[in-house]
Structure 1
Amino acid sequence: MVGPITKAGKSKKDKKKKKRVSAPLNEVQNLVQKTLASDQDEEVYQISSGDDDCSKGMKKWITEYHQSRPGLTVLQQRIDDFITAHEEQLEQERREKEARLAEGGWTVVVHHKGRKKTTDTESGITVGSVAQAAVEDKMTKKKHKELGDFYRFQKREAKRNELLMLQSKFEQDRKRIQQLRAARKFRPY
């Protein structure tokens, strides 16, 4: 329910609320004016907004994040440098190990990966490795043979077809030989 209406068209409650709100604002304004008057004599210290200094807070975390994740080219360069350094270290360790064994009187046998030929120094015999293409060809033929006839009836049909082909070739050869004999003429000299 709304309170009684006054001359200005506002209720008494609205005026009271306005007075209550305006009273603290006047006190705050007076306090601000007093502090400004007293601060004019003293030095003013300002707190930085953090734009210039990235050593604290969220900006620090963001800069650390971006610095810890470089671009792809930088990352690839770092990886390449690490790999080459690691390979050099392994090679150095291998050389040191071989040198220690050679000093002890041991014969160091070295395996050459991917070597194609071996030559015996005493006899001069050269032994070549098996060609990779030949091995692959043999394996493919073996697979086709294994997969070709799985069931017994397939094996029987394959044998029957082979016999029929051999018979037809035999008949063709017999006819050809008869034709050659008929075409022969007696030539004693």
Structure 2
Amino acid sequence: MIVVRQHVTGPFAIRVRDIVRRPGEIREFEFEVPAPEKWGEGLVSVPADDPIDLDVRLESVHEGILVSGTAVAQYSGVCGRCLRDITEPVEVEFQELFAYPGEEATDFEVQDDHVDLETLVRDAIVLSLPFQPVCQPDCPGLDPVTGERLTVSAGTEQREPLDPRWAALQGYTADHDDEAPRPSVENTEES
């Protein structure tokens, strides 16, 4: 059987030859890489070529290389309520074991004395993107009638449109109760 080795290259690949199979050895890296493509499919995503800051710690263990760290990027898109453009930072933590080849089957492996963090970082960032992003926590959204952006109310209450079936009762108020006949109460004295 011929084993074809795949050469690992790319901005997310880190060479680990100096710590492979040396349990207890640790290396730390800080670097910035561009997002290779748009990450995310919802209302917000990390655009292609936007910078991603990585702070990574690699620790050699018996089973492989334990990778842990943080990734910081910015997502862009639209508010889920008012459709205003938004850009917000996203910071995620990740940790994964890159197993040595030939060991048990795992999702991540040390390949050609490198660990490739692209899939790990992409999955961590995409899963942390908000499903319903908002430009501000109390965003009032859009007016259902006009489609215009609503602004935060300054104390005036917005009235809902009146159902035409109730229009005849609109003039009726509690003041009309005074005109209704009332039963008279007479004081009768017993003699």
Whether TM-score is above 0.5 comes out as no
Q: Give the shorter-chain TM-score range.
A: under 0.3
In the superposition, the TM-score normalised over structure 1's length comes to: 0.21
Structure with a larger share of its residues in strand: 2
Structure with a larger share of its residues in helix: 1
Computing the radius of gyration over CA atoms, which structure comes out larger, 1 or 2? 1
